[in-house]
């Protein structure tokens, strides 16, 4: 990687994408295959960022019961009473393994676009569509904390993590993607990210990089 794409560990933030009970727990309303299996590695990343004092943003979806803020492909199901990440429900909560405290999501504040602080340098953020930057204040939030590098993991790579990565690339962030801490990853997608300058690295490699043991950009 060159000087323009090489990630900076001292200016990095971790973004976890849609790691909520309804998308993760076995038998849940909208379980995404492979998400539960990836949670232990997501947890390792979260704990590493906490230990290093780097920002963490847990990006979540919230579907109003009337379907008014739901993607078109899921709107009919939600309007027909599909109970998926409904505000205030247990299904909309971040999985316990990633929570820094027992505090529940404040759906009203999140839907209003606020960032809910849930840890020392840890927040929840609501996104209305696939990508974490679309229709949100995430770019300004990260800029205010001198973040120029994002590390992305979470639920269902083809949709929300991948869109988030492309949105981050459009905004000139340096990007690390962690496939073993993300569900739904496939080889062509990994290669396509590498082709646009994303560092595609394992959880273990990111841990070593964040603590300065290795360079992730080589």
3-state secondary structure of 6: coil
How far is it, in rounded angstroms, from Cα 64 to Cα 69? Answer: 6
**pTM of this prediction exceeds 0.75:** yes
pLDDT value of residue 101: 87
Which residues partner with 116 through β-bridges? 124
| Model confidence band, residue 103 (pLDDT cutoffs 50, 70, 90) | confident
Q: Would you say 176 and 11 are in contact if contact means Cβ atoms under 8 Å apart?
A: no
pLDDT tens, residue by residue, 67-80 = 999 999 999 999 99
Query: Rounded to 5, what percent of the chain is helix, strand, coil?
Result: 35, 20, 45
Distances (CA, A) of 170 to 90, 150, 164, 173, 175: 34, 13, 10, 8, 11
- pLDDT (mean) for 110-114: 98
């Amino acid at each position: 990687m060159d000087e323009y794409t090489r990630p900076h560990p001292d200016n990095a933030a971790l973004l976890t994408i849609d790691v909520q009970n309804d998308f993760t727990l076995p038998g849940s309303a909208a379980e995404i295959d492979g998400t539960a299996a990836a949670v232990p590695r997501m947890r390792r990343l979260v704990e590493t960022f906490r230990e290093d004092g780097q920002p963490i943003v847990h990006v979540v979806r919230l579907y109003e019961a009337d379907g008014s803020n739901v993607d078109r492909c899921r709107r009919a199901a939600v309007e027909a009473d599909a109970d998926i990440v409904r505000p205030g429900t247990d299904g909309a909560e971040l999985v316990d393994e990633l929570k820094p405290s027992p505090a529940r999501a404040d759906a009203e504040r999140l839907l209003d676009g606020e960032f809910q602080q849930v840890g020392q340098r840890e927040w929840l953020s609501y996104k209305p569509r696939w990508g974490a930057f679309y229709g949100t204040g995430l770019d300004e939030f990260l800029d205010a904390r001198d973040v120029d590098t994002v590390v992305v993991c979470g639920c269902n790579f083809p949709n929300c993590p991948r869109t988030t990565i492309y949105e981050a690339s459009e905004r000139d962030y340096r990007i690390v993607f962690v496939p073993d801490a993300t569900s739904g990853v496939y080889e062509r997608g990994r290669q396509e990210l590498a082709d646009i300058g994303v560092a595609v690295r394992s959880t273990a490699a990111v841990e070593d990089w964040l603590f300065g043991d290795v360079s992730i950009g080589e």
